Amino acid sequence: MVIQNSIICDVNGEREADVRIEDGVITEIGTNLTCKDVIDANGAYFMPQLVDLNIRLHDSSLNSKNIKSISESALKGGIGEVVLNADSKPAIDSETVLEFAQNGLHELKGSYVELMINTLKEDSTLSNIAILLKRGAVAPYMSTIAKNDVAIKIAEYCQMYDVTLFCKAEDNSLISSGVMLDGDVSSKLGIAGVPDLSEVLHVSRMIEIARHFKIKILFKAIASPRSISLITQAKKDGVDVTCEVSIHHLLNSDEACENFNTTAKLDPPLASSSDLKLLQDALKNGEIDILTTLHQPSSPLNKEVAFYDAAYGCEALEEALPLYYTKLVKTGLLSMSELIKLTTQNSANSIKKKRGTISVGDNANALLFDVKESCILNNKQSLYNGDLLTGSIKYFF
């Protein structure tokens, strides 16, 4: 197969060229390539499929039907590989649940699905981390509700098995009653808030654990600019820490929660309008390592209720690439190559995979993305419902 008249775009930049693919491998890149099986890209981007490390199942319910649905939705959005969150129902914290989840991965027709494991059981004791990692999980996940002695044991396992610890920074005593950011908007709505110190305090704590044990930590779905500053300084000090931020936290402030809009009830909560600008500055300055759709679909039964009782999360998986392109690339916050670095290369590196380049010898793992097309998003569980999104995915390879 030959793809003609494409704009090859990867982490190394953009270039016009034809691409030959044989048995799923890129075998030639050049001009005027010919073949019996030809696709005319007509100027569309030939680019790597995305990788998303922060995906939840419908109502967080772990079953084969929901895994299949996520796999198919992800591919529609240009995401070729997803990692499911471990704090599902049931949580992936035992050999039995891991095997149950792995059985749901067979014969998927959409994107590739990987599993992380929850290092903490419901009673906050350790799961059998060593066995679960040996049986195919790609990363251990930890909430910082773990006490210091438990967090240190988890760090020792990560050191032993040379894996990146996926860490959610939160304080159990501060998040228990709050459902959005503690600030002017929460006061106006009369809703209990969560102070951003809940995140910042534990980012600082886990940086010191990473420094001491020389382990890799990926801080999941960071929402506070202060947390990013701490992580950036730690990188300069040689600590192997990275941060992930959702597209929602780069585009929306807590003002989206006004009128008790449950679609904007996210975990972590959306930041203030002043912090939103700082998060965007951090993105432009290269201080954010990974982007996620933070996809968390819920039944209307769990969303169309009072704000306090509503489930967390919104949907963004099926429109992922057009959403990234429209909101981040077209607006000048990122270049296309930078987007691929943040949504493909860096996220894949966290699970010891190489993605993000288009070169001879690579597995294709690519798609054609046509930015000459656009459509109105129609999804009531999206924060961008009714927005005009640019870009359409034409082919997967």
pLDDT tens digit string along 267-276?
999 999 999 9
Is the confidence at residue 175, as pLDDT, over 80?
Answer: no
- Nearest to residue 11, comparing CAs of 324, 367, 357, 366? 357
pTM beyond cutoff 0.75: yes
What's the pLDDT score for residue 25?
95
Whether 176 has a pLDDT exceeding 90, the answer reads no
Mean per-residue pLDDT, 192-216: 96
Closest CA to 262 of 381, 178, 88: 381
d(CA 44, CA 232): 35
In the predicted structure, residue 2 carries a pLDDT above the cut 80: yes
Interatomic CA distance for residues 121 and 148, integer angstroms? 16
Tokens of 262: 């449950």
| Alpha-carbon span 260 to 213, nearest angstrom | 44
pLDDT of residue 297: 97
Domains and CATH numbers, the chain: 49-356 (3.20.20.140)
Q: What is the pLDDT of residue 174?
A: 72
- pLDDT band, residue 69 (cuts 50/70/90): very high
Distance of CA 7 to the CA centre of its chain: 25
What's the rounded mean pLDDT across residues 1-25?
96
- Mind listing the pLDDT tens digit for each residue in 323-378? 999 999 999 999 999 999 999 999 999 999 999 999 999 999 999 999 999 999 99
- Note the pLDDT of residue 277: 98
